[in-house]
Structure 1
């Protein structure tokens, strides 16, 4: 018989404004400790030196993480022009330099090549797996003679917001799942013929969650294990904001909770659409709508 996990059966989302110098996993562990939660996870890793919104899911809300991971996200970042590094950010070693500097017009023109459906090669210092090994481990071991396959990325928006001096440009990007801002900086520098890497990076929103609404790491420590921290929890349903909602009945909910198709009332969904069913405002299940019923793929267990 497995050991019972200690902690509270608590479900919901806590939005954190992650500071620089700490990993996303460390933030999740701090939140789990502070809320004495049995289960926690996050929706989208941020590099240790990056700041901004890190949405931490607790309990049953962890079942909605994929929907936030798949949602659009927005980043504000500064690119250092004239230098390439082996990590594509300021933490790495400079491996190439150039005295050339593009004009504002050059930069704006080049940004158009990064919009829409693009193919992007992740940084070598990333968590991408190569033959079962993490790319960053291979790179740290000095085995940098490996290739990472390009991956598709949707870039919804990429604009220049400031040019404080010739060496720096501030950009904002809205993109889909799996985007590496460091790769954008690297590839933009290459396109401009001057090299480039990320100097500062901040995720300003992720799906329905915004950095300005997040708690700081210090606030989490100050409010740890108090009712005041619970007050900052957002409902599980926030993680389903991008999915259409359908209503169900007591009888339909009972069937859904057992993993069976349940009757729902739908107005804005069509056959085959993915949606979530609610009863009295609470999420019961996520699934596919077919002929008046929801066929569940995820069921939420309420304490």
Structure 2
């Protein structure tokens, strides 16, 4: 049975929900099971959670790989077991940090950075999630993971105030723990630090300005306009060239079979698919968005110069 909704929806995750809570609630709201999210946010964190629906779930791994942007509030002078202010304070120190020292410490993390994941995380070690071990009072050695920070901008002019708090915008690769970044900045300054607040403001092309809360999803479902804010799976492939296949070869497409160049609509055909194909497009390994002659999106196909065929890479069509 085909899914009712297929594509990508930009959810604003509110505080108090886990990312899996959001998925569970959406399954109830949309009355379909095939739903997945593209990157965990801590329960206290807010912001962009891109959720894949139906055939869009084939994009979960791809979207998880996208760079992300955050705005984080970091408190100096305190260290906690969770690396954020929800945890138990394990150390407090006096803060004697100037704006210039803070700026230098923060910028030292820009670029490649070997980050040790926190114990309170969903990473598995020997089949058990680290946070489960942490709750049992067990701490295990974790291997550092290379992450990349492309930019850190301090948003409040390095003015810490009496609370020793600053706000920063972070642009980073997948797998980056912002609370660990806060913790490590505190270590480098010698006073400790913990994350006080976190908002994810961007995942790839999805920004916080277009994210909607779960209550809005229900409202749009009820008034019949929910499809207006669900992006088609092809949305994240919009940089790929599009090719259209003749109706006579539609059977090949519907079954996910390969096709050849002579199955493409003619160059400059009459009607909607007025397309010129350049032979330079058709090189070994090039990927294409593939549509039927009527504009139906079927998926992403890769060209094999050796076989002279377009072979399915990611298939999104549902009968």
TM bin (shorter chain) = 0.7 to 0.9
Q: What are the within-5 Å matches in structure 2 for residues 1-303 of structure 1? A: 8-144=3-139, 146-162=140-156, 163-166=158-161, 167-241=164-238, 244-250=240-246, 254-255=251-252, 257-263=254-260, 271-273=284-286, 276-279=289-292, 282-291=296-305, 293-303=309-319
| Aligned-residue offset at 1:256 | 5.1
SS at match of 2:234: helix
Distance 1:124 1:287, change over 3 A: farther
Distance in 1 between residues matched to 2:92 and 2:250, nearest whole Å:
62
Distance in 1 between residues matched to 2:301 and 2:183, nearest whole Å:
40
Distance 1:139 1:236, change over 3 A: same
| Aligned-residue offset at 1:94 | 0.7
Distance 1:188 1:273, change over 3 A: farther
Distance 1:104 1:235, change over 3 A: same
Q: Contact 1:61 / 1:239 at 8 angstroms: preserved in 2? A: no
SS at match of 2:141: coil
Distance in 1 between residues matched to 2:229 and 2:22, nearest whole Å:
16
Q: Which has the larger radius of gyration?
A: 2
| Aligned-residue offset at 1:282 | 4.6
Distance in 2 between residues matched to 1:227 and 1:187, nearest whole Å:
48
Deviation digits for residues 77-135 of structure 1 (CA, Å, limit 9, x no counterpart): 11111111110111100111210232111122122321222211111100011111000
SS at match of 1:123: coil
Distance 1:231 1:143, change over 3 A: same
Deviation digits for residues 117-173 of structure 1 (CA, Å, limit 9, x no counterpart): 2211111100011111000000001112x0111111121111211145341111111
SS at match of 2:25: helix
Q: Contact 2:47 / 2:201 at 8 angstroms: preserved in 1? A: yes
Q: Normalised by the size of structure 1, how large is the TM-score? A: 0.88
Q: Contact 1:277 / 1:294 at 8 angstroms: preserved in 2? A: no
**Structure 1, gaps ≥5 residues long:** none
Distance in 2 between residues matched to 1:85 and 1:131, nearest whole Å:
25
Query: How many correspondences in the alignment?
Result: 296
